[in-house]
Structure 1
């Protein structure tokens, strides 16, 4: 299984309610990685974990660097804090500047990520409003910055993803 994740230099820290995102067709989205509706099974690496923030945007797990921390270490730590998943950072995918509000510039650094335990259900932290697992075909319709969409596409096409 594999995922993409990001390191960024600004993340809001506001308590929010916890919910599991519903699928695009109104059916509850299952929190398990390999189970989908009607008994069909999809490989876990065909999905990406996203979190919804207070601006109602979907984003990759990630957060601010701590003093002396490497960006790849930050991604692994933030994934654990935001979802309880243990992960291993993979290749650097992309860097881009995001402007979430006027006057704020955030450097986004995205990595491919390999979760270490694919049987564990991700748990939503207080930092986000919703959590969801999405297939590649669902990503274009989500409300999220284009830079994240580009990073996710890069990871789905990456030779070290599987």
Structure 2
């Protein structure tokens, strides 16, 4: 009897043809994707940066998908530059990973806290962004999405961040 799991799998033929076939089936049926979101916190004004997309309602944290060959931190820096003309001046801090197929097309989304940043010279706005700006934690826009409110509360230890909870 084989006790090594790797040897047992090899003996059953799992990593061979059947394994490749199942892998192909799952990739075609529902490929996994990875996304990032950044909670940009301006401590001096106790405010956070939110965006509104042109194609979905509500204010959200900036972010997007991780492209092939890109790290999560690189994707976050790219998305912040595209969506909000924001440049990171220190590495972002990964706070949590989330899985929610219903909330996003991304299977797994990393949530980063960004406390050190600069706003770059405005360029033509990304065609996906309707509006963007900083909002005080105690006065988030009413249209801020529930998922965004949960993530903000998560980062700040569950403190109330608005009258609309």
After TM superposition, the score normalised by the length of structure 1 is 0.57
CA RMSD of aligned residues (A): 3.3
Q: Does 87-96 or 62-71 show the bigger shift?
A: 87-96
1:157 Cα deviation (Å)? 4.4
Deviation at 1:98, TM superposition (A): 4.8
Q: Count residues with an aligned counterpart.
A: 117
Give the CA deviation at 1:127: 1.5
Cα distance in 1 for residues equivalent to 2:81 and 2:110: 17
Cα contact 1:89–1:111 (8 A) shared by 2: no
Runs of 5+ consecutive residues of structure 1 not aligned to the other structure: 1-6, 10-33, 35-41
What is the rounded CA distance, in whole Å, between the counterparts of 1:121 and 1:141 in structure 2? 29
Q: Who wins on radius of gyration, i.e. which is larger? A: 2
Which of the pair is proportionally richer in helix? 2
Moved over 6 A (4+): none
Q: For residues 29-63 of structure 1, what are the alpha-carbon distances to aligned partners after superposition, in whole Å with 9 as ceiling and x for unaligned?
A: xxxxx9xxxxxxx823x111111122222111111
**For 1:129, what is the secondary structure of its paired residue?**
strand
Structure 2 length normalisation: TM-score? 0.56
Alpha-carbon separation, structure 2, partners of 1:127 and 1:74: 16
- The residue aligned with 2:8 is none
Map Cα deviations across residues 67-90 of structure 1 (whole Å, 9 max, x no partner). 121112211111011112111442
How far apart, CA to CA, are the structure 1 residues paired with 2:122 and 2:135? 13
Q: Distance in 2 between matches of 1:59 and 1:113?
A: 15
List aligned pairs for 1:44-123, cutoff 5 A: 44=45, 46-53=46-53, 54-87=55-88, 88-96=90-98, 97-100=100-103, 104=105, 106-117=107-118
User: Are 2:143 and 1:151 equivalent residues in the alignment?
Assistant: no
Cα deviation, 1:127-155, whole Å, max 9, x if unaligned, reads 11111211111238333132x22222233
| Range that drifts further, 123-132 or 79-88 | 123-132
Name the CA shift for 1:48/1:137 in 2 (closer, same or farther; >3 Å).
Answer: same
Unaligned 5+ runs, structure 2: 1-33, 37-41, 159-165
